[in-house]
Amino acid sequence: MNTATLEGRVAIVTGGHGGIGRAIVARLLREGARVAVFDLAASKEKSHDSVLRIHCDVTVPADVEMALASVREALGPVQILINNAGLLGPVTPVLEITIETWRRVTEVNLTGTFVCCKAVAIDMVQAGYGRIVNIASVQAKEGTELAGAYAASKAGVIALTKTLGKELATSGILVNCITPTAVDGGMIDEIADQRRTYILNRIPMKRFCSVNEVAAMVAWLAGDECSFSTAGVFDLSGGRSSY
């Protein structure tokens, strides 16, 4: 069976150096896409594969424009954008979050998503085709104690997704987001065992999501089989999400 659903497509994965990002990159490559990674950590890694890795801060419009110009030159116009770069920030009550932390977390998670959507969607609008997938979190829907800035920023990602999806609904560009619960690998490795156990107990399937499960959903949302879903929010919660 031919599974190369993204043959000929050019995709950008922000935060593609991280745990989930790597799995998304691998999956998009497997589906036949040519992939560029925008990541603050990108220059630290020597590229051993066909991925174009660009050091880029997604919160800085000039950085994103420069990175995008490199992608256009090396790979051609972009059809797929996966906004995956993210920052958890310290696990702390809202009343103890510093303004610097609040700003940085919302800047990376929400403003970075906005900056990349704005830069990349221009080409997509001209071409009349595009797929944008934003990585939010189940915490955006629930609010989670000790992750106030993160949850609020991801709620903003959902609202941005719904708004942009509606605005571009007749343009050929579909904009969706996913709301995973805790995923094994990536930023969950930063948190203490006690908090991991607390999160695990809230998931009816009693396990964390895998990076490959995230990548599979992203790949579907990035392809042509996804054709009537836009401004949508897709759960990956092992039964945790109830709305």
Ligand X SMILES: NC(=O)c1ccc[n+]([C@@H]2O[C@H](COP(=O)([O-])OP(=O)(O)OC[C@H]3O[C@@H](n4cnc5c(N)ncnc54)[C@H](O)[C@@H]3O)[C@@H](O)[C@H]2O)c1
Catalytic residue, from 129, 150, 198, 243: name it. Answer: 150
| Alpha carbon distance 35, 47 (integer Å) | 12
CB 168 within 8 A of CB 175: yes
Report the nearest approach of ligand X to the CB of residue 92 (Å). 17
Q: Does 31 bind ligand X (CB under 6 A)?
A: no
Closer residue to ligand X (CB): 40 or 174: 40
- For residue 195, what are its two tokens? 């908090």
Closer residue to ligand X (CB): 170 or 242: 242
Report the nearest approach of ligand X to the CB of residue 141 (Å). 11
Q: Does 71 bind ligand X (CB under 6 A)?
A: no
Window 168-197: residues binding ligand X (CB under 6 A):
180, 182-183, 186-188
Report the nearest approach of ligand X to the CB of residue 196 (Å). 10
Candidate residues 85, 97, 177, 222; the one interacting with ligand X per rule CB under 6 A: 85
Cβ-based burial of 72 (10 A; exposed 0-12, middle 13-18, buried ≥19): middle
Q: Which of 144, 116, 134 is nearest to 234 (CA)?
A: 134
| Alpha carbon distance 200, 44 (integer Å) | 33
Q: H or E stretch including 208?
A: none
Name the region of 161 (left: φ>0; alpha: ψ -120 to 50; beta: rest): alpha
| Alpha carbon distance 154, 135 (integer Å) | 8
Strands 80-83 and 10-14, sheet pairing: parallel
- For residue 210, what are its two tokens? 């895998």
User: How many residues belong to the site for ligand X (CB under 6 A)?
Assistant: 29
Q: Does 15 bind ligand X (CB under 6 A)?
A: yes
Q: Does 19 bind ligand X (CB under 6 A)?
A: yes
Report the nearest approach of ligand X to the CB of residue 58 (Å). 4
Window 122-141: residues binding ligand X (CB under 6 A):
135, 137
Closer residue to ligand X (CB): 32 or 104: 104
Q: Does 219 bind ligand X (CB under 6 A)?
A: no
CB 110 within 8 A of CB 156: yes
- For residue 152, what are its two tokens? 């609020």
Q: Does 21 bind ligand X (CB under 6 A)?
A: yes
For the question of residue 243 being annotated catalytic, the response is no
Residues tagged active-site: 150
For ligand X, the binding residues (CB under 6 A) are 14-15, 17-21, 38-41, 56-59, 84-87, 108, 112, 135, 137, 180, 182-183, 186-188
